[in-house]
Amino acid sequence: MFSFRTTPLLEQSDRTLSGGRLALLCNQVAWHPDTGEYLFETLERKGNLVKVFMPEHSFYGPVSDHLEAVEVGSEIPWEELEGIDALIIELQDVGSRYSTFTQLLWNLIRMLKEKDAQIAVYLLDRINPSGRQIEGTMGSIGLPQRHGLTFGELAYLFYEEANAKFPMHIISAQAEAVNKELMPWTIPPFTDFAGLFTSHFYSGQCLWMGTNVSYGHGTTRPFEQFGAPFMEPLYDYNERHGFHGWNDPANPIANPDIRIRWTRFVPAYGIHAGQPCFGFQLMFIPGVSYHALNHALRLIRFVREECPEFEFNGMERLLDDEALMCYLKGEVDWDVTSEYIKVEEQKWLRKSKKYALYDDQPWRVK
């Protein structure tokens, strides 16, 4: 049974919520301006919240002396759900299949289906900070790199594809004050999702995680800058090749929808921690539609071709697409790859619109 509800969770009259044993899956974003509390604090006072599941790095300190707190990764162990009548979910997803929350949701729905569980799931939907724009190709999980759906819409899609029967209730993003009073990046869903501009770069710049280049992890600009100690020789690339800067339209990494600045940074932690990294800062142009994945693919291929020390480190698993991997290895041209991505995005648009719960629809950069 699936339902889409337009009244807030605390106004729902379901007996399961008022008298059942409740568990909550949330992180630090589950704070509500209307109550001034985290959701677990509000639910605990009602007396039937018994367990809180938290993705890693969620809360820094104890949740409550009276609640069992369980840290989870990409799945919730079944034994932790036994005896639970309803699971409430409030997580801020970031609009990309790279998110561990997406994998967690997928695994949860599949497990409840396989166990033929009758645990009622209530998901408090939130605005997607990456908006409705889509990018990329569908990997093994069936989602592109930037999918354009809310977390509730993803749950709806996974629920239907799993042919699940347990009660699934999505609380509309428009029902909760948090979506009306706070921007979706106000409370970072994880430490590297620093703010507004992160959402414009995340679906592409995540790919540096599959290399030996820093994506800005350990700096104040994660996903907005990238570099490595071995990229220093690129400083005079434009002079050697006759380009008028990195934003010269003829430059192989130039993009008319973004500004590129040569920079230097020292990560405080993560890859190349404490070492000067040389690379680039990407600067978003307000009002311009930027295809982060397309640009990131070109950037990675450029660094691979120009820097002998560059290495792939898990890119095949992260990218999850052999055709795109062939482009990064220099085996096919960009025109072929670009057309392939367009076809894949059209497929996803047709599929995703069936699961849109709101008036605005996913769209792609033409």
Other CB atoms closer than 10 Å to residue 48's CB: what's the count?
15
pLDDT of residue 186: 87
Looking at residue 233, what DSSP letter applies?
G
Say how many CA atoms lie within 13 Å of 57 toward its Cβ: 8
Kindly report the three-state secondary structure assignment for every residue of 107-146.
HHHHHHHHCCCCCEEEEECCCCCCCCEEECCCCCCCCCCE
Stretch 208-232: mean pLDDT: 96
pLDDT band at 62 (very low <50, low <70, confident <90, very high): low
pLDDT of residue 316: 96
CA 321 to chain centre: 18
pLDDT band at 157 (very low <50, low <70, confident <90, very high): very high
Query: Which two structure tokens, joined as six digits, stand for 317?
Result: 């698993």
d(CA 28, CA 58): 6
pLDDT of residue 354: 94
pLDDT of residue 61: 60
d(CA 190, CA 345): 27
Domains and CATH numbers, the chain: 2-189+354-364 (3.40.50.12170), 198-320 (3.90.1150)
- Residue 241 above 90 pLDDT? yes
CB-based burial of residue 322 (10 Å sphere; 0-12 exposed, 13-18 middle, 19+ buried)? exposed
Query: Which two structure tokens, joined as six digits, stand for 103?
Result: 């994998």
Buried b (16+ CB within 10 A) or exposed e, 280-316: bbbebeeeeebbbbbbbbbbbbbbbeebeebebeebe
Stretch 239-268: mean pLDDT: 97
Q: Which residues contact 106 (CB under 8 A, 6 or more apart)?
A: 141, 158
pTM, full prediction: 0.93
d(CA 361, CA 358): 7
Buried b (16+ CB within 10 A) or exposed e, 142-169: ebbbbbbbbbbbbbbbbbeebebebbbb
Stretch 237-250: mean pLDDT: 97
Between 193 and 125, residue with greater pLDDT? 125
Q: Which of 97, 116, 12 is nearest to 4 (CA)?
A: 12
pLDDT, one tens digit per residue, over 107-116 is 999 999 999 9
d(CA 170, CA 159): 11
Q: Which residues contact 144 (CB under 8 A, 6 or more apart)?
A: 97, 134, 135, 136, 137, 138, 344, 345, 348
Query: Which two structure tokens, joined as six digits, stand for 64?
Result: 């409550």
Stretch 41-52: mean pLDDT: 92
